[in-house]
Amino acid sequence: MPRWDQLSASEMELLQTVFWSADSSRHMLADRLDCSKSKVNALAAGLIEQGLLVETGLRPSSGGRRPETLQLAQGLGVVIGVDLGATSLDVAVMTPDLRVLARHSEDADVRVGPGVVLARVRELTRELLVGCGMSPKQVIGIGMGVPGPVDFETAQLVNPPLMPDWDSFSIRDYLAEAFTAPVFVDNDVNLMALGELWRLQRGLQNFMVIKVGTGIGCGIVCHGEIYRGANGSAGDVGHICVDQNGPRCHCGNTGCVEAMAAAPAISRRAMEAAQSGESATLAELLAQNGKLTAEDVGQASRNGDATANAIIQHAGSLIGQMLAAVVNFFNPSHVFIGGGVTQIGPLFLASVRQSVYHRSLALSTRHLEIQYTPLGGRGGLIGAGALAMQESLRLQGAKP
Amino acid sequence: MPRWDQLSASEMELLQTVFWSADSSRHMLADRLDCSKSKVNALAAGLIEQGLLVETGLRPSSGGRRPETLQLAQGLGVVIGVDLGATSLDVAVMTPDLRVLARHSEDADVRVGPGVVLARVRELTRELLVGCGMSPKQVIGIGMGVPGPVDFETAQLVNPPLMPDWDSFSIRDYLAEAFTAPVFVDNDVNLMALGELWRLQRGLQNFMVIKVGTGIGCGIVCHGEIYRGANGSAGDVGHICVDQNGPRCHCGNTGCVEAMAAAPAISRRAMEAAQSGESATLAELLAQNGKLTAEDVGQASRNGDATANAIIQHAGSLIGQMLAAVVNFFNPSHVFIGGGVTQIGPLFLASVRQSVYHRSLALSTRHLEIQYTPLGGRGGLIGAGALAMQESLRLQGAKP
């Protein structure tokens, strides 16, 4: 068990605040906690003595003695982050301040069902812990992202289109048999947003993370918190219509942005261009690899292939058209774009931007930043770790 | 000045909580304030003695003595609510619990500029106060809704398309010359949302209010608070594209839902139908009135005119198409529709619903309610009153 079982509510609150304010001085922490600096001093001294907080570098002084900043200590234990994609599995052991101690990534197929996939998660977690010289007892919490809609309270998937066998399966109960630490599950793109929120230390209050991969989803940060909506399905932007005469989507409607601009649509268009003789470069890549991925299209584009460029611009423009509607409604300060399709290169981002700025109102876009996710491919894992820390601290802090 | 100048922070906090929890017992208030019932008892006793709180009815007992509920007393003073539309002006004097003591509505034209309109607001406010036997000194706060984007902190309009002369004009400074009470300004549809939030006593956490009139706008409630976005322009849904080949909008883009489905578009289509001989009923109404409003189309529809029905269904369906995108993104529990076009009758609402349920994902709409705003035409005024009370209490509570 983590070594915080005996801590007071005030001590837990200080740990939570430190987690969300890395490298803050005692003075800044007192401000955030709305209490006196002497109280923070006393609490921090106790926690440092117990090995749960450490003093780190010194912040630049604003006159007088330079104040020491505080950080969560490794003595607290470790968190496990699991990032499950439709076709990939990523597991990491992290320190309480989300440094990755050990990480393993491999291909996976969620369609084989929860039994097989979660057995592998359990196995990888054990191996990684052994590799770090840690025991399962030192695990503070486990956070896991999954590519489907999640009921956050019960940690169950709800009608997940990509992984029907997982419907109502309790990931929490399964992992609870192997680990005593609490298990928290959320949608993968919500965790990418949580990861960025943590990286920013809540410095931005209202932003979105769009993931473009096999599907298209969106994590929303509103008033400085992850927003999940009335039924946990907020951010389901993949089925926003961008062309009423567009192709039929697996959801039953026509012209969904996901059906027209996600990775499978990009591959399909590239295959057509290769087979019709429209693009010699794509035809060559197809002959080499037996298939064409979004990354192949990106490579052809970087080699100057005009057809590949057109495919990328079309996808970016459709995604931008969807984003324009969402930006008019939500007026975020930032839109971060992540997921596999970001590997495709800068032309994709440029096309998204052009389309959003063209279609959204000046007032919504005057200060709007659209960029690739700063955490990149680590976003889902860092978010899973942040979920594990945040919710474990909250759970423990709420105990009587 | 209101009689709360000498109150403690705890007393102010109790008043704020009572405002947002009408007819709550002391026990429920203690729960909301997260303090002991004996503390609430003591604070309430003092405030009742000063004439700032009153005991009202009794709630049903759960055993034992029936607990008295509390309400803000009229002794606190009054608030002024102003609801300025593109073509209308509504001013009311309200009690602290937002009962309307006196109200005046008249046609107005915002395009004549802030000087003329605000002089009239000042005049009407004075007259209404005299009519209630109140003096300007008894005004706690003034809340005003305007039909354009507002920078909430400075209370100024920012590039308002319908009222260019008001750009950067300080409504607050103007009214401060006539009244000592603080002045708060917000976008009209944000105030409709605030009005509903207050009516519901924050019973719903995530919902939207859509106003369909001369333009189309949206007020957003997220995590139980009005959400204004990164630059105050959240909810600007009128310029979401619903038809890429649609007509050009005054914003410069094509196919904006506002250009195709707001009141002017409905009138324009009706005029065309009347002039082309498509609808005898509309031609008759045009001959009678010299013009056709959305309400005229509603009347023709209720008389069974097929062309009027088609016009209404088309507008409702386009608005539903825009809402489908927003609902997928935001997953609200409720969408309330208000504004002049709601006068058009039940067919409009039915068409909006049909379109949203057809286009949105099952998970987002499973529990979604779409209905006309419960506060109806009073929504903007009640919201303006709620803004005045909420912000005045907050301002006073924050004083050292």
Question: In this structure, what CATH number is given to the domain that contains residue B241?
Answer: 3.30.420.40
Nearest to B218 among A206, A231, A329 (CB): A329
- A67-71, A177-181, B268-272: segment of lowest average pLDDT: A67-71
Query: For an interface test with B, which of A187, A330, A368 has the most B Cβ atoms less than 10 Å from its Cβ?
Result: A330
Q: Phi then psi for A311, rounded to 5 degrees?
A: -65, -45
Same domain, B228 and B296: yes
* CB crowding A153-174: b at 16 or more within 10 Å, else e: eebbbbebebbeebeebebbeb
pLDDT band of residue A103 (cuts 50, 70, 90) is very high
In sequence order, what DSSP letters do the residues of A269-292 get, joined into one string? HHHHHHHTTS-HHHHHHHHHHSS-
DSSP type of residue B394: H
pLDDT digits (tens, 9 = 90+) for A139-183: 999 999 999 888 888 888 888 877 889 998 999 999 988 899 999
CA of B39 to nearest chain A CA: how many angstroms apart? 22
Give the residue from B231, B321, B357 with the most A CB atoms within 10 Å of its CB, the best one to mutate.
Answer: B231
Structure-block tokens of residue A290: 């037996």
Q: Do residues B284 and B170 share a domain?
A: no
Top residue of B152, B233, B251 to mutate, by most chain A CBs within 10 Å, is: B233
- Where a domain ends, among A75, A99, A132? A75
Q: What does the pLDDT read at residue A326?
A: 96
Q: Is B2 domain-assigned?
A: no
Query: Does residue A3 lie within any of the structural domains?
Result: no
Q: Minimum mean pLDDT among A49-53, A359-363, A394-398, B248-252: which range?
A: A359-363
Domain boundary among A36, A59, A75: A75
User: What band does A343 get if pLDDT is binned at 50, 70 and 90?
Assistant: confident
Residue type, B233: S
Interface membership of B251 toward A (CB under 8 Å): yes
**Within this chain, do residues B170 and B61 fall inside the same structural domain, yes or no?**
no
Work out the average pLDDT over B336-351: 92
Task: Give me the pLDDT at residue A59, please.
Answer: 60
**pLDDT-derived band of residue A400, with 50, 70 and 90 as boundaries?**
low
Residue B242's domain spans which residues?
200-374
Q: Return the pLDDT at A80.
A: 97
Assess whether A103 and A172 both reside in one domain. Answer: yes
Contact predicate A151/A234, CB 8 Å: no
Q: Which of A281-285, B40-44, B159-163, B382-386 has the lowest mean pLDDT?
A: B159-163
Q: Decide which of A161 and B341 is more confident.
A: B341
- Do B20 and B202 form a contact (C-beta atoms < 8 A)? yes
Contacts of B223 in chain A (CB under 8 A): 222-223, 225, 227
**Is A399 in CB contact (< 8 Å) with chain B?**
no
CA of A235: which chain B residue's CA is closest?
A: B329
* Chain A residues in contact with B221 (beta carbon < 8 A): none
Residue B232 at interface with chain A, using a CB cutoff of 8 Å: yes
Q: What are the helix (H) ranges across B293-342?
A: 294-302, 306-330
Chain B residues in contact with A333 (beta carbon < 8 A): 230-231
| Predicted pLDDT of residue B163 | 87
Instruction: Name chain A contacts of B330, Cβ cutoff 8 Å.
Output: 229, 234, 329-330
Same domain, B175 and B208: no
Reported residue count of chain A is: 400
| Total count of domains within chain B | 3
Mean pLDDT over each residue of chain B, to the nearest integer: 91
Chain A residues closer than 8 Å to B364 by CB? 229, 231, 233, 236
pLDDT at B162 over 90: no
Task: Single out the residue of A337, A327, A335 nearest to residue A372, CA to CA.
Answer: A337
Answer whether residue B191 is part of any domain. Answer: yes
Residues in chain B: 400
Q: Which residues of B touch A324 (CB under 8 A)?
A: 240-241
CA distance B376 to B192: 9
Q: How many CB pairs under 8 A join A and B?
A: 144
pLDDT of residue A1: 46
Q: Say yes or no to pLDDT of B60 above 90.
A: no
**Residue B264 burial (CB < 10 Å; 0-12/13-18/19+)?**
middle
Within 8 A of A220 by CB-CB distance, chain B residues are: 329
pLDDT tens per residue, range B358-378: 888 777 788 899 999 999 999
Contact A332 B230 (CB under 8 A): yes
Q: What gap in Å lies between CA A269 and CA A319, rounded to an integer?
A: 16
Specify the CATH number for the domain of residue A70: 1.10.10.10
Distance from CA of B240 to the nearest CA of A (A): 5
**Same domain, residue pair B253 and B116:** no
B316 CA to centre of own chain: 21
Mark whether B19 and B99 lie in a shared domain: no
Kindly state the helix (H) or strand (E) to which residue A336 belongs, with its residue range: strand A334-338
Q: Confirm or reject contact between A164 and chain B (CB < 8 A).
A: no
Number of helices (H), then strands (E), belonging to chain B: the values are 14, 15
In a domain, A128, yes or no: yes
In the predicted model, is pLDDT for residue B6 greater than 90?
A: no
Beta-bridge mates of residue B302:
none
Kindly list the strands in the beta sheet with A53-58, ordered across the sheet, starting from the edge strand earlier in the chain: A24-25, A68-72, A53-58
- Say whether A326 and B321 touch across the interface (CB within 8 A): no
Same domain, A286 and A353: yes
Give the pTM. 0.92
Q: A329, B329: Cβ pair inside 8 Å? A: yes
In-domain check, residue A1: no
What is the bridge-based pairing of β-strands A216-222 and B369-372? unpaired
Share of chain B above pLDDT 90, in %: 69
Cross-chain residue pair A325–B236, CB shorter than 8 Å: no
pLDDT at residue B345, as a whole number: 86
Residues B280 and B354 in one domain: yes
CA distance B86 to chain A (A): 20
Question: Do A249 and A352 belong together in one domain?
Answer: yes
Burial class of A354 by CB neighbour count within 10 A (0 to 12, 13 to 18, 19+): middle
**Nearest CA of chain B to the CA of A32: how many Å?**
17
Q: Is position B118 within any domain?
A: yes
A181 located within any domain: yes
d(CA A167, CA A157): 5
- Is the pLDDT at B1 greater than 50? The verdict is no
Task: Give chain A's mean pLDDT.
Answer: 91
CB spacing of B328 vs A240 below 8 angstroms: yes
- Provide the chain B residues 338-377 that lie in CB contact (below 8 A) with chain A: 358-364, 366-368
- The burial class, CB within 10 Å (0-12 / 13-18 / 19+), for B399 is exposed
Letter string b/e over residues A241-280, b meaning 16 or more CB atoms within 10 A of that residue's CB: bbeeebeebeeebbbbbbbbbbbebbbebbeebbeeebbe
Whether B33 and chain A come into contact, CB under 8 Å, resolves to no
Closest-approach residue (CA) in chain B for A151 = B363
- The whole-number average pLDDT for the span A189-207 is 95
Cα gap A73→A54, rounded to integer Å? 5
Confidence grade of residue A304 (pLDDT, cut at 50, 70, 90) = very high
When CB atoms are compared, the residue of A233, A333, A364 closest to B361 is: A233
Residue A22 reports pLDDT greater than 80: no
User: What is the token pair recorded at A259?
Assistant: 């059906």
Which range (A25-39, B50-64, B237-251, B270-284) has the least confidence?
B50-64
Q: Are residues A143 and A263 in the same domain?
A: no
With respect to residue A2, please indicate whether it lies within any of the assigned structural domains.
no
Token output for A106: 């491999």
Q: What angle do CA B332, A342, A248 make, to 5 degrees?
A: 55
Close Cβ partners of A282 (under 8 Å, ≥ 6 residues apart): A270, A273, A274, A292, A296, A297, A300, A305, A307, A308
Residues of A in contact with B218 (CB under 8 A): 329
Contact A330 B229 (CB under 8 A): yes
Residue A189 shares a structural domain with residue A230: no
Backbone angles phi and psi of B162, in degrees to 5: -85, -15
In chain A, residues with a C-beta closer than 8 Å to the C-beta of B235 are: 329, 331
The neighbouring-strand residues paired with A226 are A221
Is the model's pLDDT at A391 over the cut of 80?
yes
- The single-letter code of the amino acid at B188 is D
